[in-house]
Structure 1
Amino acid sequence: MSAVDTVFLDDLRAIFGDRFSISEALREQHGKGESHHTTAIPDAVVFAETSEEVAQIVRLCAQRGVPVIAFGAGTSLEGHLAAIRGGISIDLSRMNQVLRVSAEDLDCTVQAGVTREQLNIHLRDQGLFFPIDPGANASIGGMAATRASGTNAVRYGTMRENVLSLTVVLPNGTIIKTASRARKSSSGYDLTRLFVGSEGTLGIITEVSLRLYGIPETISAALCSFDSVESAVSAAISVVQLGIPVARMELMDRGLIAAVNAYSGTSLKLADTLAFEFHGSPASVNEQVEMVRDIVIEHGGKDFEWATSPEERNRLWKARHSAFYAVVSQRENAKGWSSDVCVPVSQLSECIVYTRGLLENCSVPAAILGHVGDGNYHVVFAIDPANAAEMDEVGLINKKMVKKAISVGGTCTGEHGVGTGKIAYMREEHGVAVDLMTVIKNAIDPLGIMNPGKMLPQD
């Protein structure tokens, strides 16, 4: 039950004026992400513009024991934003300043509300870019909080590897910096990694320092179709094992290709497909393309098409990034249920084939896609949340897929995060280590006000 009373709300309104709202429509928007999870609205929304304002709100909430949920771009998929115990949603979208860029050091510092696309537009004239690309135009703070990755992770890593330092507001309102800008340090506990992936349960990230990269001299993309998912995944594993530094390597099953063609107006061949992107000098890109071409042909790949023009590449990746909406659009008034797991690359083929078997008799539209270069794959379903039988059916498929991943040494989520959607699998994956996570949570947030009900199971 929410601990918020009208006096407390009046106090916030007096401080923040028109940046405070109890509008039902706005509260509903802030109580959900983009997936099927049940909306749970906060008691109020406050738009913060500085770390100090976030700290002020958190201190007031701590005095009353009021829950606090950070909100960025609203693109999360596992129920992270639901105010399941009420409370205050702190909207960070107005904290959208790029504070510093150092071309010499290849790093920058941004406020948490800066979005991925906004940052790359800002960097473009300096010949730099930030490569982490989860598909959605997510906020950098949200990407750090969920330890996001995406299509470029096979070459550039995830947010875990690319966050240098954070500014965080702790549950008592204290503001800390987790690290210096140095590229390495042996000093103290690694607080940066503690907060990256903490999903707002330990504190609110307000500023992020990031690694940057030079825009590649040459960028090229390629598509190749296969007669089976097994053949496509086998080819992808060979590319990884031979150490070819592809920037992107994406699997799209034939069901997804059909949905994408209908949604995006593309005319991709209706087959299980691998999509690649290559970064580097002209000579190195040519070498990568030739090596990958030989590998995919050896594994039964057909119609290897190589695209170098920005228009062709952008069209391809725009279609790929619309996959979630493409699947959902196959059914009127549907909601998307998107689940992801990540497994050792050696187990990827077995797990994807197993998952495809689970989908054979599924009564709702569904498709498989994945960042197969790092063992991460997704299933997207178009569901009717009001249909209990349908929800049970998809829930069982999801459960079997997750348990299979964990059984082969994988994880219940490679990049979406835990939220409420994967909380049931935390103990199965981590065992007694969950108890240590709980000790850390209770030590940092003894009142339990930071995004309560997320990440850790309440046994």
Structure 2
Amino acid sequence: MTFPPDPLPDRPLPPDLVAALVALLGPRFTSAAAVRLQHGRDESYHPPFPPDAVVYPHTTEEVAAIVRACAARRVPMIPFGAGTSLEGHVAALRGGVCLDLSGMDAIVAVRPQDMDATVQAGVTRKRLNAHLRDTGLFFPIDPGADATLGGMAATRASGTNAVRYGTMREAVLALTVVTPQGEVIRTGGRARKSSAGYDLTRLYVGSEGTLGLITEVTVRLHGIPETVMAAVCPFPSVAQAVNTVIHTIQAGIPIARVEFLNAHQMEAVNRYSRMNHAVTPTLFFEFHGSPAHVTEQVEVVRALAADQGGADFQWTATPEERDRLWAARHTAYYAALALRPGAKGFSSDVCVPISRLADCLTETEADLEASSLTTTVVGHVGDGNFHVLFVIDPDDPAQREEANRLNERIVARALAMEGTCTGEHGIGYGKMSHLEAEHGDALAVMRRLKRALDPDDLMNPGKIVRLDL
């Protein structure tokens, strides 16, 4: 965890840039303090770093014009979608202009025969799925928050469905990107595979706005499953719950979702969502497929859970009960914050090979139980990813120091197990200190890449890698 750098002194935008942006956008340019503050913060503990102005483009051409105007005057640019990131991605660490892309919300094309769609960057995942409802298709990447597709591509988001449907890395077919020089490029096409040159699509997916601004996204779609069944099962211990997941994955069962919540998180969920689950390590499951196939999956997983002490395996196929179960999981973050009203949360985000998950989680739980901090654990354990949420007063130096100490241990443990410091949240500036330990000399290559594409360091500067070392 990296705590915030000291803010730079206020630097007003060049008057000629303000005039150019007002001429281009009219009332869609603002320097109002409240709007700037809103666009300088995300959902995490990170304090706000407001930009100097906020603009609301509606087209790729407007984005390109804004970028050219800012680049000519060496003014930083920070993209903003829904503001749901967790590592300070939207903080204007050096001031500059924030480009709020939420108004770019057109669904450009849906192609049911090819099972793909093209949308502007500001379209949210829920809006896309509502639009797709009559096609028999859906977009499966579900990070929990109703994030924008542009933001999800920029952070390489994943979430609860990743174990079956993959992450944004697999979901994105092509992008429209505005480069730091204001050029508009299209990466990739709609073919399901290609060997044509460098894979620029994968370069920009996960680049967090540091190499260019994503304005359109073409994504893969999937057929809505004929049958969906959800289940919940408590376990006597963390190891037994995780071993059930490992055996399920190793058995080749195509489970759609499997989520882990530790005892503290289950207590928070019960209070917040008015449920009465056992306060013990618990797995939430979801199964997709034909009726016969789903029934077979459920029976096999129930048997595997029973072998690990999960005797109270309960399932439901009714949409109402299923939605209620997953609503409780999706509000787990806010449920944990409610354990200490007025506190803030920051979340670890490690991911390890599935065979090391039980060891990693068990050792982490021991660390947490020995600490005085309020913490909870949730995990997309089907792909080895879990989050420890530290619920702290960020103005209390002792709590910050203890949270930092625990987080350093969690990351070091994951890296020692050949894992990663972030499975899905990304780096922002919050995790920059861990990149060198994870990537070693490869970090220098990332820095050279950033310098080659954005030599003036204007695209979301101070995130992922720094050029002012």
Q: Under a length normalisation based on structure 1, what TM-score does the superposition of the two structures give?
A: 0.99
Q: How many residues align?
A: 459
- CA distance in 2: counterparts of 1:21 and 1:364, whole angstroms: 41
Cα deviations across residues 33-83 of structure 1 (Å, max 9, x unaligned)? 000012111000000100111111110110011000000000000110000
Q: Tell whether 2:374 aligns with 1:365.
A: yes
In the other structure, the counterpart of 2:18 is: 9
Contact 2:68 2:182 in 1 (8 A): yes
CA RMSD of aligned residues (A): 1.0
- CA distance in 2: counterparts of 1:396 and 1:26, whole angstroms: 35
Which amino acid is 1:84 matched to?
L
In the other structure, the counterpart of 2:364 is: 355
- Secondary structure in 2 matching 1:167: strand
In the other structure, the counterpart of 1:215 is: 224
In the other structure, the counterpart of 1:100 is: 109
- Secondary structure in 1 matching 2:389: strand
In the other structure, the counterpart of 1:268 is: 277
- CA distance in 2: counterparts of 1:3 and 1:231, whole angstroms: 57
Q: Tell whether 2:88 aligns with 1:76.
A: no
In the other structure, the counterpart of 1:39 is: 48
Which of 282, 295, 301 is the aligned partner of 1:286?
A: 295
Contact 1:324 1:338 in 2 (8 A): no
- CA distance in 2: counterparts of 1:131 and 1:297, whole angstroms: 29
- Taking the TM superposition and a 5 Å limit, the aligned residue runs for 1:227-266 are 227-266=236-275
- CA distance in 1: counterparts of 2:161 and 2:54, whole angstroms: 34
- Secondary structure in 1 matching 2:425: coil
In the other structure, the counterpart of 1:119 is: 128
In the other structure, the counterpart of 1:333 is: 342
In the other structure, the counterpart of 2:64 is: 55
- CA distance in 1: counterparts of 2:164 and 2:436, whole angstroms: 31
Cα deviations across residues 82-112 of structure 1 (Å, max 9, x unaligned)? 0000000000000011110000000000000
User: Which runs of at least 4 in structure 1 moved beyond 4 Å after TM superposition?
Assistant: none
- CA distance in 2: counterparts of 1:268 and 1:19, whole angstroms: 48
- CA distance in 2: counterparts of 1:52 and 1:457, whole angstroms: 29
- Secondary structure in 1 matching 2:312: strand
Give percent identity, aligned residues only: 56
- CA distance in 1: counterparts of 2:319 and 2:88, whole angstroms: 35
Contact 1:424 1:457 in 2 (8 A): no
- CA distance in 2: counterparts of 1:440 and 1:302, whole angstroms: 53
- Secondary structure in 2 matching 1:302: coil
- CA distance in 1: counterparts of 2:403 and 2:48, whole angstroms: 19
- CA distance in 1: counterparts of 2:22 and 2:367, whole angstroms: 51
In the other structure, the counterpart of 2:408 is: 399
In the other structure, the counterpart of 2:75 is: 66
Q: Structure 2, unaligned stretches of length 5 or more?
A: 1-7
- CA distance in 1: counterparts of 2:83 and 2:30, whole angstroms: 17
How far the C-alpha of 1:364 sits from its partner, in A, is 2.9
Q: Structure 1, unaligned stretches of length 5 or more?
A: none
- CA distance in 2: counterparts of 1:7 and 1:394, whole angstroms: 45
Contact 2:176 2:215 in 1 (8 A): yes
Cα deviations across residues 258-284 of structure 1 (Å, max 9, x unaligned)? 001111111212111011000000010
Contact 1:3 1:66 in 2 (8 A): no
Q: Under a length normalisation based on structure 2, what TM-score does the superposition of the two structures give?
A: 0.96
How far the C-alpha of 1:156 sits from its partner, in A, is 0.2
Contact 2:20 2:69 in 1 (8 A): no
- Taking the TM superposition and a 5 Å limit, the aligned residue runs for 1:149-168 are 149-168=158-177
- Secondary structure in 1 matching 2:302: helix
Cα deviations across residues 366-414 of structure 1 (Å, max 9, x unaligned)? 1011011000000112111111111111111111101111111000000
Which of 433, 449, 457 is the aligned partner of 1:440?
A: 449
Contact 2:435 2:443 in 1 (8 A): yes
Which amino acid is 1:49 matched to?
H
